[in-house]
Amino acid sequence: MKKLYLFIIALALAGFVSAQDCSDLFISEYVEGWNNNKALEIYNPTPNIITFTDTYRLIRWSNGSTTSDSDIQYVLPLVGDIQPYQAFVIIQDTNFPGQDTMVWAGLRAKADYLAPADYNAGTQGCRVVFWNGDDAISIQKLSGTTWTDLDIFAEIGVRPLNWQGLTTPAGAWTDTPPYWRGEGAYLTQNQSLIRKSNIKQGIDRVAMNTYGNTTTGGFPDSFNAFVEYDSMPANFFDSLGFHTCDCKSLSINNRQNPDLIQIFPNPVTGNQVTIHAVEPVKSVELYNMLGQRIYVMHLIANTREVVIDVTEDMRNSILIVQVKTRNNLVSIQKIVVR
């Protein structure tokens, strides 16, 4: 009997486990550009590889929908995995002339995952990545047999209006309270929104339901994007593929895959430092001990050797070097710069 009792307590506690900082995936960037130039970036704020397959999915809640009607709720099962402290970029693969307006090549090049191109695939595929400003998005996670919202962008069940107070053409969430009435500047249409670096977890249903209490003084149904996001103009794709987050600095002392790269000289005394990697390199980032990124280089060619010019702000400090290879291995090491 006692065992059963303890089991029931454990089950009850499991039901009330709330999200903790730096413990699971969240949305790190939302892109709603011209035509079909749309993207979503997901960030892994943990020191562990997270596998999407059979556990995570992306939902578009179209035009204020709260239902799971297959014509309205668009579902994209996520596949593959995401490395520690890395970002994962999803775009739609409308790449066939004549089918729909093609995604610009510059955006397409940023994709880690292309939502399947068949526009007629119904509730899955590219129609999930098809927001136009008045839709909500969520990342859901499966635990047991239940899907729960890990992070919600905008507000499920609310369709913001356009500047005329109508729903056609599509409106957007704005910078002016109560944010859904189409007054002020649009923030979720023809904009890129980047999650602020101090955000360490997603918005779940509980947090979403407090929007009205915390951001608008009691006015219900309001998503104020500026609470958690910074905005950039339409078709800004430069920050897709990486994310700066305070979760990162917590793990900065952990070396990872040290054999993947060689750094010389270390300590650095001259004007250059060379990184030689076993695998072709995709990106190199440098962080200071505050966790602030002070350098980033993305490589297109198949190169294993990267030379970094030492700048004044790197001098007399210990820096963290993070190298990501084209096959998505990550090496994190320290260097001393004199």
Residues forming the site for Ca ion (CB under 5 A)? 29, 41, 63, 132, 134-135, 190, 239, 243
Strand order in the sheet with 330-337: 293-298, 281-287, 317-325, 330-337
Least distance between Ca ion and beta carbon 75 (Å): 16
CB 114 within 8 A of CB 128: no
Nearer to Ca ion, 276 or 293 (CB): 293
Nearer to Ca ion, 178 or 241 (CB): 241
Cα Dmax for the chain:
71
Least distance between Ca ion and beta carbon 334 (Å): 24
Least distance between Ca ion and beta carbon 276 (Å): 27
Least distance between Ca ion and beta carbon 308 (Å): 21
Least distance between Ca ion and beta carbon 25 (Å): 14
Nearer to Ca ion, 196 or 334 (CB): 196
Nearer to Ca ion, 132 or 274 (CB): 132
Least distance between Ca ion and beta carbon 263 (Å): 26
Query: CA separation (Å) from 166 to 160, 181, 197, 275, 317?
Result: 9, 9, 34, 56, 56
Nearer to Ca ion, 109 or 278 (CB): 109
Q: Which helix (H) or strand (E) holds 143?
A: strand 136-143
- How many CB atoms are located within 10 Å of the residue 304 CB? 14
Beta bridge partners of 293: 287
Beta-sheet pairing, 317-325 with 305-309: unpaired
Nearer to Ca ion, 195 or 273 (CB): 195
Which candidate, 327, 334, 332, places its Cα nearest to that of 281? 327
CB 273 within 8 A of CB 263: yes
